[in-house]
Structure 1
Amino acid sequence: MKFAVTILMILPFLASASGLTCYECNSMVSTGCGNGDFDPVQAAETTCEGDDVCLKTVVGDLVGRMCGPGMSTGESCYTFAGIETCYCSGELCNNAVGNSLGFFFAFISFLVAKYL
């Protein structure tokens, strides 16, 4: 029993030590990286360092996916000066599906808050 408890206490540190895996691509130089045409087969996978999170940045029609500093864990998006940046802290979470789900749940939360 003590061994199992010890393993459970150590696993989170091993997972964080190995680094988060994110997609890395740029729609300016790579096909299959944009919002409407993202293809995980064509995107590279990279291991982030330290406390970095997965990022997806959109400037007009250009999309970049990479590791970078995040404000916190979880999933969130913000827009500043016409640049939309979304970050997330799950494995390979900076794909089109994950961010779309985040926007979907944010929209549903808005509707619930407004009408209930």
Structure 2
Amino acid sequence: MVFLLAGCDSKPPALMPAVKQFQTEEQKVLHIADMRTNHMHRLTHKRDETMYQGIRTTKHSFNACIDCHVPAPTVSKVVKHTDEEHFCVTCHIEVAVKLDCFQCHADRPALETAEVVKP
């Protein structure tokens, strides 16, 4: 059985640039390809380790994803997961997948936002 998605564009949506820069272009390309293919598996694996086994490490941390990919709050704008320019929402809207991570998790960077936001 073959399924075809009518009107589906195979070109991925344009994403906001990440804060973290890779040392080489090859590292960047490999990271992007890996995340496009495996990010959901990584998230559920980390969820299972954290929730069911009590393992809490910074490796593949969800906070690290947010800190790198979502713009830090500024005086004029705090990007939330309900905003179209939020990094995660960009793809989730494109593929019509519900984004429910932020029912429990923070949707913006955990950097010293109080200091960044102060006028």
TM-score above 0.5, yes or no: no
Q: Which has the higher strand share?
A: 1
TM superposition score normalised by structure 1: 0.25
The structure with higher relative contact order (CA 8 Å, sep 6+) is 2
TM superposition score normalised by structure 2: 0.25
Q: Which has the higher helix share?
A: 2
